[in-house]
Amino acid sequence: VNLVASPFEQPLGFRTLGEIWSRQARWARLRRVTFPLFFAPEILVGAAVPLALALVAAAGAGFSLSATALVVLVVAYLPECALASAKSWHLSLRMVPAMMARDCILPIVWARGWLSGAVDWRGNTMTIHTSAVAELEETPSGA
């Protein structure tokens, strides 16, 4: 395995919504099957959980909900914008709304990762499962 010293941009070119969904579903399924203990807490990734917890705490303490939301979102998205800027990656006014959209669909992608079934990879339907399941499926019937 070769690891890179620092992150780098990986432009994918134009993709349809269906191609984007297929890619996300495929990788979620691969992560879930390959690293289930690491995949399980992925539901906590993104701004949704910190935002919800901060809003509950702010409401209980009598703080402004809008100010709390703004602070949490700045803390969540500013580091990603700073990384993109530091690496001279594409950075535009659409970046933060795109990050918010990503965080909104993360729970759906995560749930899809737990479901069995085929995924599409460049027009090829593939079934992703553990080796134990593959061994069960390949074992000839004793009947």
Pair 125, 118: CB distance under 8 Å: yes
The 10s digit of each residue's pLDDT in 66-108 is: 999 999 999 999 999 999 999 888 899 999 999 999 999 999 9
Output the average pLDDT for the chain.
86
CB within 8 Å of 76: residues ≥ 6 apart: 46, 47, 50, 51, 103
Residues 40-58 have a mean pLDDT of 95
The answer to whether residues 116 and 134 touch, using CB atoms and an 8 Å cutoff, is no
- CA angle at 50 for the pair 35 and 72, rounded to the nearest 5°: 130
For the segment 35-49, the average pLDDT, to the nearest whole number, is 93
- 46 or 125: whose pLDDT is higher? 46
- What number is the average pLDDT over the span 47-71? 97
Structure confidence at residue 139 as a pLDDT band (50, 70, 90)? very low
- In this structure, what is the dihedral angle of CA atoms 84, 86, 90, 92, given to the nearest 10 degrees? 80
Look at 86-95, 97-106, 111-120, 133-142 and tell me which has the smallest mean pLDDT: 133-142
- Entry pTM: 0.71
